[in-house]
Amino acid sequence: MNRNRQSVQKVQRPRVVIIGAGFGGLAAARTFAHVDAQITVIDRNNYHLFQPLLYQVATADLSPADISAPIRAVLRRQRNIETLLAEVTGIDTARRVVFARDRADGREQELPFEYLIVATGAGQSYFGHDEWEPYAPGLKSLTDATAIRRKILLSFEAAEMEPDPEKQRAWLTFVIVGGGPTGVEMAGAIADLAHKAIVGDFRHINSASARIVLVEAAPRIFGAFPPKLAANATRELERLGVEVRTGKDVEAVDAEGVVVGGERLAARTVIWAAGVQASPAGRWLGAQTDRAGRVIVTPTLSLPDHLNIFVIGDTASTHDRRDPSGKPLPGVAPVAMQQGRYVARLITRRLRAQRSGEATDEEAPFVYYDKGYLATVGRAFAIGSFGRFTLSGLPAWMIWSGVHILYLVGFRNRFLVMAQWAWAYLTFQRSARLITMDDHAEAPQVAQPERQQAIEPPTPARV
């Protein structure tokens, strides 16, 4: 045990610690609004992030502030809540203590708890090929999104200055690995950016000639949607100019491109959206996990040996208990939010029973209420599955837009995103096309002409 850790003085009221202020953690925290307990929310960032719209930050449609909100501001009216900007480094389940490192000065603290909710989300999985990560970044955070935005926009800038046609094509080739919602939405957004938003902005390249390739190892994209909707989405992607390659495995990724099904694709921008892996929470808890690192929990979302510790969202391995096949619940925001509210209400009932000295009623297991699934494909086209009812095209996109606006935290963000979307829809323009970079960072390398030769600009492309 680190001797430098400082123990936080125990409070008189029972303490509930929530690790993570994503959809699940924030839903739990809000549900505790009027509970007589000390609620402590720990997050390594000081903001709540609306992850479903990260791809729009990565493709210059929205700014980071449009899809995020300070956690303290969101929870400021709840006087029983404290928020800590810290990174969790471990959990002692026997002592009921969370170890956290202060993000400001690096001090380590011990935070005692009576109840613990772990909602730490998930990261990218490269299926045993972590060496691909530097060349194929994933999209899980604002840092990822701004880095990908910089990478995409710099590719067009590098192509503008590249005299070699073959290398120029590599700069203008974008490969997205993964045919789920993130990959499809990213491919469609890049196609809109290249083929519509920035056409005419350059003098030596035609951005509409950009090649966007979507790679999926499964037989079709959108495996969680009905085949008919997946086919509609494929046709829309192809209409946007996206090459859809299904049934193809990625065999190699490096700085110069990818190998897909034995074919080499020269591409300077590769984006990974093919899989997820849970946070290290399973190791912290010493709990049993599945192959993706998700913690296996009881029907009430607690650990089998520690009924006061709950794991929710992408960190937990849960199943639809009404489905005889035991189908796993998807890693989407509604699942995490419903689980967060369920756990908070369960803990609230236990706390009230403790104060009254009464026995708690038998606790009903968590049941997910599926309200349907939506995904967008480029501009003004989406697909939706609502049980037996399916929808695609503009009507689905309008529902998708309304649902995402509704789930955003804060009136300001809702208003700004609606305004940005309206502007983009009417003008095809992207308002967040800023390239922010470290002045000391290494810039993309383009071919340099010999010094003794006169430098001639590339031949202008015909638009």
H/E segment holding residue 151: helix 142-161
Selection from 132, 254, 235 nearest residue 184 by Cα: 235
In a domain, 432, yes or no: no
In a domain, 408, yes or no: no
What's the pLDDT at 325?
Answer: 66
According to DSSP, the β-strands at 122-124 and 115-118 are: unpaired
When pLDDT is averaged across residues 215-223 and rounded to a whole number, the result is: 95
The catalytic site residues sit at 185
Predicted confidence (pLDDT) at residue 455 exceeds the cutoff of 50: no
What's the pLDDT at 328?
Answer: 80
Q: Which residues contact 151 (CB under 8 A, 6 or more apart)?
A: 137, 269
In a domain, 377, yes or no: no
pLDDT in tens, 238-284: 999 999 999 999 999 999 999 999 999 999 999 999 988 888 899 99
Angstrom distances, CA of residue 287 to CA of 1, 11, 222: 20, 28, 32
Residues 284, 231 share a domain: no
Residue 193 is given by DSSP the state I
In a domain, 407, yes or no: no
Residues 242, 210 share a domain: yes
Predicted confidence (pLDDT) at residue 100 exceeds the cutoff of 80: yes
| Domain end (from 305, 328, 356) | 356
CA quadruple 347, 352, 356, 361: dihedral sign: negative
CA angle 134, 136, 137 (to 5 degrees): 75
CB atoms within 10 A of CB 343: 26
- For 131, the 3-state DSSP assignment is helix
What's the pLDDT at 413?
Answer: 80
In a domain, 401, yes or no: no
* Band of pLDDT at residue 118, cut at 50, 70 and 90: very high
Residues 146, 21 share a domain: no
**Mean pLDDT (the chain, rounded):** 88
Which of 21-35, 48-62, 411-425 has the least mean pLDDT?
Answer: 411-425
Residues 151, 237 share a domain: yes
Residues 317, 229 share a domain: no
Q: What is the token pair recorded at 276?
A: 């997820």
| Domain end (from 356, 382, 415) | 356
Best mean pLDDT range from 9-23, 251-265, 356-370, 440-454: 251-265
Task: Provide the number of structural domains found in the chain.
Answer: 2
When pLDDT is averaged across residues 363-373 and rounded to a whole number, the result is: 91
Residues 333, 207 share a domain: no
Angstrom distances, CA of residue 221 to CA of 50, 173, 248, 277: 24, 20, 11, 20
pLDDT in tens, 334-348: 999 999 999 999 999
Residues 235, 136 share a domain: yes
When pLDDT is averaged across residues 385-412 and rounded to a whole number, the result is: 89
Residues 108, 230 share a domain: no
| Domain end (from 356, 389, 408) | 356
In a domain, 387, yes or no: no
Residues 171, 151 share a domain: yes
pLDDT in tens, 277-310: 888 899 999 999 988 889 999 999 999 999 999 9
Distance of CA 313 to the CA centre of its chain: 13
Question: What CATH number is attached to the domain comprising 249?
Answer: 3.50.50.60
In a domain, 429, yes or no: no
Residues 256, 197 share a domain: yes
In a domain, 376, yes or no: no
Residues 283, 232 share a domain: no
What's the pLDDT at 1?
Answer: 41
Predicted confidence (pLDDT) at residue 4 exceeds the cutoff of 50: no
When pLDDT is averaged across residues 20-27 and rounded to a whole number, the result is: 96
pLDDT in tens, 162-206: 999 999 999 999 999 999 999 999 999 999 999 988 998 999 999
Domain holding 186, by residue range, is: 131-274
Predicted confidence (pLDDT) at residue 452 exceeds the cutoff of 60: no
What's the pLDDT at 454?
Answer: 38
Residues 267, 136 share a domain: yes
Which of 248-252, 319-323, 324-328, 459-463 has the least mean pLDDT?
Answer: 459-463
Predicted confidence (pLDDT) at residue 449 exceeds the cutoff of 50: no
